Structure 1
Amino acid sequence: MHSKRELTTRTLIAAFAAGVLVAAAFVVATDVSVIVAYVLGLGLITFLTYGYDKLQAVRGGRRITEPALLVLPVIGGALGGWAGMLIWRHKTKHASFWIAQIVGTLAIAAALWLT
């Protein structure tokens, strides 16, 4: 059995790698900026991760760790996090998730403003 920390690390590495791959595809296919592509790529992966976790919660299956779900929006997946919270109705009663979404949104806004 893996520790929660190890599962969190693995989840974050996999999500980040998938987000970067999606971002690279966006850049090649649409010629958008790397920052926009990264935000879209990681946002999509975060949205899908929140959806998977919600499905597992309903089914009583193995869940994504909360630290992983909290870090994803902060490292650029906030748009997908917002969508996941609102569409899947997932983690909406947890203040820490709202804070993570706000921090992530501010980070995205700062990155876009600085470029």
Structure 2
Amino acid sequence: MKVITIESEAYKSLVRKIERIHSDIKKQAKEHATPQPDPSEVWVSDQEAATMLQVSKRTMQRLRSNGEITYSIRGGKARYTLAEVKRLLSGRVIRNDKTEGGKP
């Protein structure tokens, strides 16, 4: 390994330049970052919702008829907000906290 020595002021100047470059890169990343849309404002089609929920389009009709999912009809087609699909999806998660058959 080669040891290189520099003056204290030169080192401090180099560190300041590196910090400035780092902050400029972070600033550019923030400016070019795509803001995530609000799930309550993103609408998905019947087919997209069915795919996310891993159910058939007929099951989507049943969910609408039973009032289990809110929807909007636009141009004769059902649309759902992404937030509503996520709500329904999280409501169908089954947790396996219980032990089966007495096994831990």
Larger Rg: 2
TM-score (norm 1): 0.25
Bigger helix share: 1
TM-score (norm 2): 0.28
Bigger strand share: 2
